[in-house]
Amino acid sequence: MKWSLIQLQKYRGKRIPLEQEMDVTTYLKEHNHDVRDASLVRVTGDIAVRQDSVVIRLVLDGTFTLPCARTFEDVIYPYHIESVETYVDKEENVLDEMHHMMDGDKIDALPVVEELLLLEIPMQVYSDNVENALSEGKDWNVITEEELEQQAIQEEPKVDPRLAGLADFFDKKED
């Protein structure tokens, strides 16, 4: 995903279609240890060359394989990312995080694609197959909020019998 500015200047005023598949699995695994696997990234979009900038419209499609937060089973997580990135040749033209400096007379979109993919990885995913999920263990179990509320209603605060006499301590009026 590298282009020479000289190569792109031939297409000034026109849109250059972009369609490519990339393998960034190794990069994703190195930078996010939750990623177990990733499909090829299908990159589509177009490139527009302007007088002082190059605008790349990116559409990224693919899947991540991530661990389920409950069962650690593999979960296939699909993504669809759309982004517009602008490459400029002067530092003062960098207005926000969507603007990037050209590397001399070259444009390299790979770091931007990798960053977009890393930002898309969710912190937790859950498998649809919940039968294998643990619902209880030693000294714990999973309950719903409604069950928790019912338990709170049924359980009244218990007073230690040794301290029961102190419950009336402040209620007594001093003579």
In this prediction, residues 70-87 reach a mean pLDDT of 91
**Structural domain boundaries in the chain:** 2-120, 136-168
What tens digit of pLDDT does each residue of 114-148 get?
999 999 999 999 888 765 556 677 788 878 889 88
Residue 52: partners with Cβ closer than 8 Å, 6 or more residues away: 88, 89, 90, 93
Residue 175 has pLDDT above 50, yes or no: no
The answer on pLDDT for 80 being more than 90 is yes
CA angle 111–54–56, rounded 5-degree value: 55
What percentage of the chain has pLDDT greater than the value 90? 40
Task: Give the pLDDT score at 163.
Answer: 77
Across 148-158, average pLDDT = 80
What tens digit of pLDDT does each residue of 38-77 get? 999 999 999 998 888 888 999 999 999 999 988 888 999 9
What pLDDT, on the 0 to 100 scale, is given for residue 63? 96
Confidence of residue 99 (pLDDT cuts 50, 70, 90): confident
- DSSP sequence for the chain: -EEEHHHHHTTTTSEEEEEEEE--HHHHHHH-TT--EEPPEEEEEEEEE-SSEEEEEEEEEEEEEEEBTTT--EEEEEEEEEEEEEEESSGGG--STTEEE-BTTEEE-HHHHHHHHHHHS-S-B--S-GGGS--EETTEE---HHHHHHHHHHPPPPPPGGGGGGGGTTTSPP-
